[in-house]
Amino acid sequence: MIQKTLNLSLNYKILFDDIKSLSFCDEVRDKSDDFLSSDNHCLILKGDELVNSYIFQAIYNDLEKNSKCIFISMKDNKSEVLKDLDNFSHIFIDSFNECFENKISEIDLFNLYNSSKDNSSKLILRENSLTQKNILLPDLKSRINSNIELVMPKLTDKDKKHIIEIELIKRGLSIKEKNLDFIMNHSSRNLETLQTLVNKLDKLTMERKKNISIPLIKELI
């Protein structure tokens, strides 16, 4: 039997409290709560790769305290891990669209969809926005397309500043407001670029054993 393990892609546990400063957090949480309290069976999270990872993990970490949940990432697993999940009340499948364009994987996902519905389990799927694959099986496509979608709203500049702070906190770093303003005024506001900058800041502060400062930021942008 293949062991099913929690495989989180981020560096630490994300809770709703960690992302409450994001402008859309309350709205997204309300929508996820509405789904969880409804008769609907499947929820699909879409949108920015980093942000929908935050929300996906926050929902999981909120539920796993009192419910029998499982979190499976399809980034690192074969579709066999989608079998024998009848005992779980909430099934989280990260990067579920990695199953597409593979007939066996699509069948396993299709069977999980049907079995979880028959067992009245909640199926929460997160789309990997970096993976562009199409569904081969018409029956799977019709089921996926019939579900509730939770699409992450467009980020404001303030949200992006908060995300920089969140990512730095995960690395044990802090940043002053004036440094955040400098980044937003002098660097690309694309979230992927900002996250790359955070990774470089993390590495440079460790190498130099210095706090984040404008001169340090200038070296990287």
Three-state SS sequence of 108-174: HHHHHHHHHHHCCCEEEEECCCCCCCCCCCHHHHHHHCCCEEEECCCCCHHHHHHHHHHHHHHCCCC
Across residues 46-71, what is the average pLDDT? 93
The string of pLDDT tens digits covering residues 65-103 is 999 999 999 988 899 999 999 999 999 999 999 999 999
3 state SS of 17: helix
Report the candidate in 9, 7, 11, 13 with the shortest Cα–Cα distance to residue 199.
11
User: Class of the 16-151 domain?
Assistant: alpha beta
Question: What pLDDT was estimated at residue 73?
Answer: 93
Residue 2 has pLDDT above 50, yes or no: no
Cα–chain center distance at 185? 27
pTM: 0.85
Unique residue bearing structure tokens 């067992």:
119
140 pLDDT band, cuts 50/70/90, is very high
The full set of domain ranges for the chain reads: 16-151, 157-218
3 state SS of 90: strand
* pLDDT mean across residues, the chain: 90
Question: What pLDDT was estimated at residue 4?
Answer: 39
Question: What pLDDT was estimated at residue 77?
Answer: 83
Question: What pLDDT was estimated at residue 145?
Answer: 93
Helix 177-186 vs helix 157-170: angle between axes, to the nearest 10 degrees?
Answer: 120
Q: Do 85 and 70 meet the contact criterion of CB atoms below 8 Å apart?
A: yes
Residue 167 has pLDDT above 70, yes or no: yes
